[in-house]
């Protein structure tokens, strides 16, 4: 499957009292990378909801915090699709030093569910999204 990454800079607002990235902010960085992956395919979240009546929501996330990222660090956040089911996707995501994929700060496995916007119940992922994610665009 295709590996996608998105740049992130650590700002003061991302850090805690110890000067390192607050743990919950890694989830925010990962959300941005998944959103930008869809945007790369021409899928805007609000337009998807309006045109197809579906939305995506995180179903589960398992994170490993490996080392602290700090203020002003230049990072990249990957979003690699590793599993695809009828109404859910699983992404392998790493937050790593820009220019050095081996220096990983946080790694995760994130399951995202496709839901009908009107009921918030599972809904099949639209084919054009599946094709884009698995085709290598």
Residues recognised as catalytic: 16
Number of residues that this document lists for the chain: 137
Asked if residues 29 and 96 have their Cβ atoms less than 8 Å apart, the reply is no
CB of 95 within 8 A of CB of 104? yes
In DSSP terms, 83 is beta-bridged to: 90
What angle, 0 to 180 degrees and rounded to 10, lies between the N-to-C axes of helices 45-52 and 23-40? Answer: 60
């Amino acid at each position: 499957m295709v590996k996608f990454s998105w740049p992130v800079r650590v700002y003061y607002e991302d850090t805690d009292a110890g000067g390192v990235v607050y743990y919950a902010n890694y989830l925010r960085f990962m959300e941005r990378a998944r959103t930008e992956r869809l945007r790369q395919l021409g899928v805007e979240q609000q337009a998807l909801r309006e045109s197809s009546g579906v939305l995506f929501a995180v179903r589960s996330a398992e994170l490993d915090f490996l080392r602290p990222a700090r203020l002003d660090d230049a990072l990249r956040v990957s979003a690699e699709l590793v599993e695809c089911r009828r109404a859910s996707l699983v992404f392998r995501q790493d937050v790593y030093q820009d220019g050095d994929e081996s220096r990983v700060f946080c790694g995760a496995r994130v399951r995202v569910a496709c839901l009908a916007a009107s009921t918030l119940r599972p809904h099949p992922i639209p084919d054009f999204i599946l094709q884009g994610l698995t085709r290598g665009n």
